[in-house]
């Protein structure tokens, strides 16, 4: 279970508060207008930013002292999710060992992960030789291998076309169900939330609201969400 305990983030005139929990195994969307602090919240959970007040807890443990790489989570950014000088297989292998010295079993595991995301035989290619969708799949394969219980996604598929993006979200949902991971993904599109998110956290007007069932929230939006949806 992920808990955000009386969290407050400040920056200049910007402030965001959050006091909520996310049940394990759920796929949860962070929905709200741009500039509301969705990415900032994700960065804080991932450990790139330190909160001004409050704590981030996983299964009751304060994550504060842990560096990003030591937290029980994987994260995908908006861009630069792959090292351009490494092959797809090497990029995936980083999920197993950050030093990339893989034994035979681990090399096989990388191939299996690439198979799973539909990239069989493309392991030797560098990112420049892959399409945008294929690059997203490489990043997902690395997440699969890292096998951390919490997956954070900061709109990594935003640059893809609608059909490709829907396909990537479906793949993400499948992988999450297979591994039992909890997923938090940022989106500004209610359709994304409706497609795969059991629950949605509304981030608007300086506050991250506790998660609600996505269908309920969208059927009966509070004023802040109604203003955003138009």
Q: Which residues bind another protein (CB under 8 A)?
A: 9-11, 40, 44, 46-52, 67-70, 74-75, 77, 80-86, 94-95, 98-100, 128, 146
Q: Closest separation between CB of residue 154 and another protein, Å?
A: 10
Report how far residue 47's alpha carbon sits from residue 34's, in angstroms, rounded to the nearest whole number: 21
Q: Closest separation between CB of residue 156 and another protein, Å?
A: 11
User: The tokens of 149 are what?
Assistant: 């219980």
- Residue closer to another protein by CB (options 128, 219) is 128
CB 155 within 8 A of CB 6: no
Q: Closest separation between CB of residue 218 and another protein, Å?
A: 30
- Residue closer to another protein by CB (options 74, 187) is 74
Taking alpha carbons only, the member of 107, 77, 72, 83 closest to residue 181 is 72
- Residue closer to another protein by CB (options 38, 228) is 38
User: The tokens of 134 are what?
Assistant: 């294929």
Report how far residue 173's alpha carbon sits from residue 95's, in angstroms, rounded to the nearest whole number: 19
Taking alpha carbons only, the member of 152, 197, 189 closest to residue 170 is 197
Q: Closest separation between CB of residue 68 and another protein, Å?
A: 4
Q: Closest separation between CB of residue 108 and another protein, Å?
A: 20
Q: How far is residue 184 from each of residues 16, 28, 52, 119, 129, measured CA to CA in Å?
A: 17, 5, 22, 25, 29
Q: Closest separation between CB of residue 201 and another protein, Å?
A: 18
- Residue closer to another protein by CB (options 149, 221) is 149
Which DSSP category does 209 fall into?
Answer: P
Report how far residue 22's alpha carbon sits from residue 28's, in angstroms, rounded to the nearest whole number: 8
Q: How far is residue 188 from each of residues 30, 104, 123, 174, 215, measured CA to CA in Å?
A: 8, 42, 32, 22, 16
User: The tokens of 225 are what?
Assistant: 């969400």
- Residue closer to another protein by CB (options 94, 113) is 94
CB 122 within 8 A of CB 114: yes
Q: Closest separation between CB of residue 27 and another protein, Å?
A: 20
- Residue closer to another protein by CB (options 56, 225) is 56
- Residue closer to another protein by CB (options 29, 145) is 145
């Amino acid at each position: 279970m992920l808990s955000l305990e009386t969290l407050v983030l400040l920056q200049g005139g910007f402030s965001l508060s959050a006091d909520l929990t996310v049940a394990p195994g759920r796929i949860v969307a962070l929905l709200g207008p741009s500039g509301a602090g969705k990415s900032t919240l994700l960065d804080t959970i991932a450990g790139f930013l330190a909160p001004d007040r409050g704590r981030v807890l996983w299964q009751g443990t304060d994550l504060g002292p842990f560096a990003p790489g030591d937290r029980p989570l994987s994260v995908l950014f908006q861009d630069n999710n792959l090292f351009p000088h490494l092959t797809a297989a090497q990029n995936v292998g980083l999920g197993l060992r950050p030093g990339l010295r893989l034994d035979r079993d681990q090399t096989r595991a990388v191939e299996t992960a690439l198979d799973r995301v539909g990239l069989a035989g493309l392991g030797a290619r560098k990112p420049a030789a892959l399409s945008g969708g294929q690059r997203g799949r490489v990043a997902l394969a690395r997440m699969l291998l890292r096998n951390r219980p919490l997956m954070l996604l900061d709109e990594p598929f935003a640059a893809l076309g609608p059909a490709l993006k829907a396909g990537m979200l479906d793949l993400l949902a499948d992988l999450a169900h297979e591994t039992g991971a909890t997923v938090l993904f940022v989106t500004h599109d209610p359709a994304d939330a409706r497609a795969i998110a059991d629950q949605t956290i509304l981030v608007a007007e300086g506050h991250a609201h506790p998660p609600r069932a996505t269908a309920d929230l969208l059927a009966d939006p509070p004023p802040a969400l109604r203003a955003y949806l138009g």
